Chains A and B, each alone.
Chain A
């Protein structure tokens, strides 16, 4: 069975600073993918970034980067130069090739950016 754990229910960050949101996962599969989604107060789920288990480099998308440590089974999201619009819920999710096409989500982290 797959499991995603996000241990930070809520976090504050000062505007323009970087912040790391933690995500650890548990799977016995060798081939899997890790995703991060953002959910602002308006409610929609927005895809941010993807990391494959066989990718040799950490994924980056603009101000978002993923600190992938395979041996530790962690896939932390780093947001650089935080903006007020980054205030939202952030969800880590995993898909394993052996678990069909299902995404397993963590419980989320609420990020609040202070001006």
Chain B
């Protein structure tokens, strides 16, 4: 199994509060991703990173920001959480040296509830 951890695994917060989710990898992979999973939508990409301090937006980036100061850590921040951000958040990593053939490997997920 790819060495990916996410913290916290569960969080309940209130509308308007800031929230930061952490993804940590031990595989030294260049690419890291944040997805959210909602019923009926599969997984949708929020942001991704292709190196330290190199990030880009995904399909559903509004209301989220990310930072990557080290290869192993990728942080997802909700500056002011809203109820629509209640979801399960997955981090993923991939080694892009193999090109598009390489799968992304996922962390265990974080279940976030915004009341």
- Report A's interface with B, CB cutoff 8 A: 4, 31-33, 35, 37, 43-45, 47, 50, 52, 91, 93, 95-97, 100-103, 105-108
Contact = CB atoms under 8 A, between A and B. Distances in A.
Interface stretch (B15-23, B64-72, B79-87, B101-109): B101-109
Contacts of A31: 100
Nearest to A101: B31
A1 to B, nearest CB: 10
Interface of B: 31, 33, 40-45, 48, 50, 56, 58-59, 88, 90, 92, 94, 96, 99-101, 103-106, 108-109
A102 B41 CA distance: 15
A93 B43 CA distance: 9
Contact of A43 (B42, B94, B96, B109): B109
Most buried by B among A31, A33, A43, A93: A43
A106 B41 CA distance: 7
Contacts of A43: 88, 108-109
A90 to B, nearest CB: 11
Nearest to B88: A43
8 contacts: A32-B100, A33-B100, A35-B104, A43-B108, A45-B43, A101-B100, A103-B92, A105-B44
Of all A-B residue pairs in the complex, the 8 with the closest CB atoms, nearest first, are A105-B42, A45-B106, A47-B103, A105-B43, A33-B100, A107-B42, A95-B100, A102-B45
Nearest to A48: B103
A106 B99 CA distance: 22
A6 to B, nearest CB: 8
Contacts of B88: 43
Contacts of B92: 45, 103
